[in-house]
Amino acid sequence: MIDLSGNIAIVTGAARGIGQAIAEYLAQLKATVVVADLHGDDAVSVAHAIVERGGSADGVAVDVSNAASVADMVRTVAERHERIDILCSNAGIFPSARIESISEDDWDRVQAVNLKGAFLCVRACLPHMRRQRHGRIVVTSSITGPITGYPGWAHYGASKAGLMGFIRSAAIEVARDGITINAVLPGNIMTAGMQNVGAEYIRETERSIPMGKLGEPVDIARAVAFLVSDNATYITGQGLVVDGGQTLPESRLAVS
């Protein structure tokens, strides 16, 4: 059993979906969780629900694409809790548009939230982790971009592939400070956003997954919990694919 007692964990994009599942799961493992989200009221509501179930949490508003907002969040967490042990940089957006329809502003917005946002959060937390000589960082990448592609997600895939390049170099920079940085690469996970794409897409996707079903947000949360635990102290700069085997088959013929 993983025990995160005494750890202060920031989870961004934690008011819903995968981020909420990560926050709730880390709280179950006894971490004190800071639920951070662009929608501050929703973040507070998720934190309140965690506390009602016996966990320890508070909520803060943050725009991860804005350096001043990220700095304010980290400052607030440090003042409240006096340390930062875990950062789960999960906040992300996934609009769909074909290349000809992507404006420069659309492209920049996806990169700002998904890629720049992770950089800003990591940069802001590093001084605290370095002083402690300990820290665990996990970013949420995706199979889309680093491994696979899908029409309409060129900007999204680029941002998620960029995260993998970022963590590899970052891991080397911080290794001597007792800090690890890794990524989870979710496949298709049954979140509210996934439900919005329609039942036919979900059915077709399930047919391509060897396990025959989409993942649940808690499947990603469990992977994150492993990477921030003492079980993963010698793992850094790596990506953990959590996709039910979706990226394994050479073709649909292999899945029956």
Q: Please write the tens of the pLDDT for every residue from 92-151.
A: 999 999 999 999 999 999 999 999 999 999 999 999 999 999 999 999 999 999 999 999
- Provide the pLDDT for residue 24: 98
* Sequential DSSP letters for the chain: ----TT-EEEEETTTSHHHHHHHHHHHHTT-EEEEEESSHHHHHHHHHHHHHTT-EEEEEE--TT-HHHHHHHHHHHHHHHS---EEEE---------GGG--HHHHHHHHIIIIIHHHHHHHHHHHHHHHHT-EEEEEE--SBTTTB--TT-HHHHHHHHHHHHHHHHHHHHHGGGTEEEEEEEE-SB--HHHHTT-HHHHHHHHHTSTTSS-B-HHHHHHHHHHHHSGGGTT--S-EEEESTTTT--SSGGG--
| Tokens representing residue 2 in the block | 């993983």
Question: What CATH number does the domain located at 8-254 have?
Answer: 3.40.50.720
Mean predicted confidence (pLDDT) in 183-205? 87
- Residues, the chain, total? 256
- Provide the pLDDT for residue 113: 98
Q: Which residues pair with 61 in a beta bridge?
A: 37
- Provide the pLDDT for residue 32: 98
Is 234 annotated as catalytic?
no
Question: Could you say which of 25, 150, 156, 201 is catalytic?
Answer: 156
Q: What is the average pLDDT score of the chain?
A: 96
Asked if 57 and 23 touch (Cβ cutoff 8 Å), the reply is yes
pLDDT classification of 196: cutoffs 50, 70, 90: confident
Mean predicted confidence (pLDDT) in 21-32? 98
Please state, in angstroms and rounded to a whole number, the distance separating the CA atoms of residues 160 and 157: 5
On the question of pLDDT at 193 being above 80, the answer is no
Asked if 192 and 175 touch (Cβ cutoff 8 Å), the reply is no
On the question of pLDDT at 200 being above 90, the answer is no
pLDDT classification of 58: cutoffs 50, 70, 90: very high
On the question of pLDDT at 197 being above 80, the answer is no
Tell which residue, 143, 247, 146, has the closest CA to residue 186: 143
Mean predicted confidence (pLDDT) in 174-180? 98
Mean predicted confidence (pLDDT) in 229-243? 98
